[in-house]
Structure 1
Amino acid sequence: MQTVLSAVLIDVPQAAAIWLALIAVVATTVAVLVLRPGGVGVDVARRIREAALPSTLERAEEDRDRERYAAEVAVAAERAVTTAQRHRAEWLAAQDEVEAAWQAYQDVEADVQRLSVAAALPLPRTVRTPAEYADRERFLHRTALDAYWRRELSVEQLSDVFAHRNGWDPRRHPVEQELFLRRAVLANLQERHRTAQERERAAWQAAELAVAAAGSLRQEAFAATEPAPESEHSLLPGVDPVEVTAPVLPAAPVARGRAAVPAF
């Protein structure tokens, strides 16, 4: 009995050493799997990501859809550029019309000042006969008609001249008639300048909107040609996708003038 017990006690240290060696090997293996790059957790995440990614056919279909969308946006952008160019040309023409109307107004205003000084002087007396009144009437009609063909009088004003209403009196002295005519022309040109300013302002706003729309479509067309980046963070378990927002830039002041609307 003592001999058997002695034999067993002799084998116990060897068995303990074997168990300790096995435990050390297992611990080392687990540590290597956990700590090495691309460990078990990353491998699981990679498999989940691969399972969530679209297949080859789905990717091809998405590429075709993206190319078709990019082509459509590119066509829309080119049309928007053409529209912006047309609106810019209309705005420049309206601006030229404003400048021309203002120059014409200044010229007539100078004539009114000159005639006002002349009318303030004593007018020469003439014999008021039917022939004199007929000459004065012909002078009024002729000068008014000339002003109409120069687009200085409107059709309504010319009608008032021949109807002798709204202050048009053919019996006045020719100097007084010309002064009254130039004042009517001045009022007409002032209204024309105001109307031209309104058209120029509307054309400028339309050109600004058209340029902004063309720029947005160009950016959209450029972005549509770029492949959509694949987000890895959204496919990892327990990790929320990172939201990336563009910074909000302050609005730049809009300058008025020919350089305000850029040309394409």
Structure 2
Amino acid sequence: MESVLQTFISAVPQATAVWLAILLALAVAVAAASLPRGVTLPEPVAEANRFADRLEAAATDAAEAAGRRRAEWLAAQQAVDEAWTAYEQASDDARRIAAATAFPLMSRRRKPGENVDRQRYLHRAATELCRTQDLSIAQLNDVFAHRGWNPRLHPVQQEAELHNAVRAHRFEAYQRAVEIERAAWRGAEAAAEALRGLRAEAAAARLHGPAEESTEQQVFAEHWTPAELPAAA
């Protein structure tokens, strides 16, 4: 009788352990079944790192773009300075020639063919100025079409008119250079702002990764906590 009792007493812990294992398996099954189907537990740290890597790669591309935009802006600034220098030179030349023509020319009877020579001089001088980019193609066309130009003027007077046209052309070129420089500056500022934003987002993604992990772990804990397991009494 005693041997039977001892056998029963020694079997009680084993049976208890078996029952506890069964209850634990049932609790895990119930908790898994409570999760929505098709939902897998996220990997917050790895996902945050992958997101930060993508942001950093985009920031690298943005840095290259910002460098190109800044180089374009610096080149545009140089072009503005050169255009202004060219305008100042043209303005000085125009004033100097205008001063030389302040005295009236002697009126005399023109020789036969002199008007043709004056016209040729005007066309030749305008063509040379256009070749050196001191006159535009549109201005050269006006000269040859005699739109606003008198081919019969004395060469000294034609020289003064040509340099006035050069001054106007150089000023228009300066204004275009200023517009290009302003657009280049806006592009450089936009590229720099985009770069700053991407770098800030990448840094935030690196910094907030652990916080996202703890939040997701809390969500998992709400689905399955030790308190839901049956008591092992």
Superposition TM-score, scaled by structure 1 size: 0.62
Give per-residue Cα distances to partners, 1:137-188, cap 9 Å, x unaligned: 111111101110111111111001011112x111101111011011111111
Displacement over 3 Å in runs of 4+: 124-127, 227-232
Report the Cα distance in structure 2 between the residues aligned to 1:180 and 1:109, rounded to whole angstroms. Answer: 12
Report the Cα distance in structure 1 between the residues aligned to 2:86 and 2:131, rounded to whole angstroms. Answer: 15
1:199 paired residue among 168, 177, 180: 180
Other-structure match for 2:200: 219
Within 5 Å, which residues of 2 pair with 1:241-252?
A: none
Give per-residue Cα distances to partners, 1:174-225, cap 9 Å, x unaligned: 1110110111111111111111111101110110111111112112222222
Report the Cα distance in structure 1 between the residues aligned to 2:130 and 2:95, rounded to whole angstroms. Answer: 21
> Highest relative contact order (Cα 8 Å, sep 6+), 1 or 2?
2
1:130 paired residue among 112, 125, 130: 112
Within 5 Å, which residues of 2 pair with 1:23-102?
A: 58=41, 61-102=43-84
Structure 1 alignment gaps of length 5 or more: 1-56, 236-264
Aligned residue pairs: how many? 175
Instruction: Tell me, yes or no, if the aligned pair for 2:69 and 2:187 is still in contact at 8 Å.
Output: yes
Other-structure match for 1:14: none
Give per-residue Cα distances to partners, 1:39-76, cap 9 Å, x unaligned: xxxxxxxxxxxxxxxxxx946x1122112101110111
1:154 paired residue among 136, 139, 144: 136
Other-structure match for 1:141: 123
Identity of aligned residues (%): 45
* 2:190 matches 1:209: yes
Structure 2 alignment gaps of length 5 or more: 1-39, 219-233
Q: CA deviation at 1:125?
A: 4.8
Instruction: Looking at secondary structure, tell me which structure has more helix per residue.
Output: 2
Aligned partner letter, 1:77: A
Q: CA deviation at 1:124?
A: 4.6
Instruction: Tell me, yes or no, if the aligned pair for 2:69 and 2:184 is still in contact at 8 Å.
Output: yes
Taking only aligned residues, the RMSD between alpha carbons, in angstroms, comes to 2.0
For the structure 1 residues 65 and 130, does the alpha-carbon distance in structure 2 shift closer, same or farther, using more than 3 Å as the test?
farther
